Structure formats: C-alpha cells, structure tokens
C-alpha cells in the first residue's frame, strides 16, 4: 500500500515538473494569472486533462498578440501626440498667454479699485455697530 502512494506522489511530481517546463516554454500564460483571468490550478487541471499538445492551448496563445496590439496602440498614441506638438506655433501661444495675462491684470485692477483695505468680519455679537 505504501508503494502505491509513493508511486502516485512520484507521478504527480513528474507531472508538476512537466507543467513547470510547459509554463517556461509558454510565458504568456503568466499574464492570464496576473490579470486574474485564470489561476495556476485551472491551468494545471487543463494540462493534466488535455496535455501540452492539445488545441485548447491555442485559446491562450493569443495573449501575446493582444499585448502587442496594446503596445502598438500606445506607440501610435504617443506618435500622434508628438505630431500635434510639432504643429503648435509657439509665437501664437506666447501672444495668447500675454493677452490673457493682461486681462487678468485688468480684472485685478477693477476688483481692487485702489483700496488696499482688508475685509474684517464683524463679531457675531454686534448687530448695529453697538
């Protein structure tokens, strides 16, 4: 009876080692676990039931192309932003900022009216200048 358990444990260890080798050959499976789409337990059960050469693994091999598409989208977005920045006329931006600065200064002049008095809140217990 103990020989059976020892043999069973040895076979499980061999399958686990084979599964680890399979994961090393297919590192894109790690992304599924990191993104919480699969667990290592589920992957191991699929490996144990179907083996490493089954067509079921084709469903998981598309992850690489997905990550490449995301990377390409990011690169294209950055290129688009760079082309927009190249098209900006800095002189017109500078003129717009200076006119905005003048408008802010004018608004400050209207709000101050030359008074440098600081508003002090009246104490709550005084009603009619007691």
Does any domain span residue 116?
no
Tens of pLDDT, residue by residue, the chain (130 residues): 555 555 556 566 678 889 989 999 888 888 888 888 889 899 999 988 888 888 888 888 754 455 556 667 788 788 888 888 788 888 888 898 899 998 888 888 776 655 666 777 766 776 666 5
| Domain presence at residue 50 | yes
Q: Among 90, 85, 35, 95, which residue's Cα sits nearest to residue 60?
A: 35
Q: What is the pLDDT of residue 7?
A: 53
pLDDT at residue 73, rounded to an integer: 76
- In three-state form (DSSP H/G/I as H, E/B as E, the rest C), the secondary structure along 20-74 is HHHHHHCCCHHHHHHCCCCCHHHHHHHHHHHCCCCHHHHHHHCHHHHHHHHHHHH
Q: How many domains does the chain have?
A: 1
pLDDT of residue 14: 79
74 three-class SS: helix
Structural domain of 43: 2-61
**What are 11's two structure tokens?**
């076979």
pLDDT at 117: 67
Is 32 inside any structural domain? yes
Predicted structure pTM score: 0.42
Per-residue pLDDT, 127: 65
The verdict on residue 69 lying in a domain is: no
* Structure tokens belonging to residue 58: 């084709």
For Cα atoms 100, 103, 104, give the angle at the middle one, nearest 5 degrees: 90
Residue 18 in any domain: the answer is: yes
Is position 19 within any domain?
yes
């Amino acid at each position: 009876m103990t020989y059976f358990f020892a043999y069973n444990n040895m076979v499980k260890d061999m399958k686990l080692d084979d599964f680890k080798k399979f994961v090393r050959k297919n590192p894109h499976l790690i992304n599924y676990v990191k993104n919480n789409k699969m667990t290592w337990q589920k992957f191991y059960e699929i490996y144990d039931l179907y083996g490493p050469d089954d067509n079921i693994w084709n469903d998981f091999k598309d992850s690489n192309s997905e990550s490449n598409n995301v990377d390409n989208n990011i690169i294209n977005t950055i290129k688009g932003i760079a082309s927009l920045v190249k098209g900006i006329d800095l002189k017109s931006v500078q003129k717009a900022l200076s006119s905005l600065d003048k408008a802010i200064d004018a608004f400050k002049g209207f709000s101050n009216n030359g008074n440098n008095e600081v508003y002090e809140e009246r104490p709550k217990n005084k009603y009619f200048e007691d």
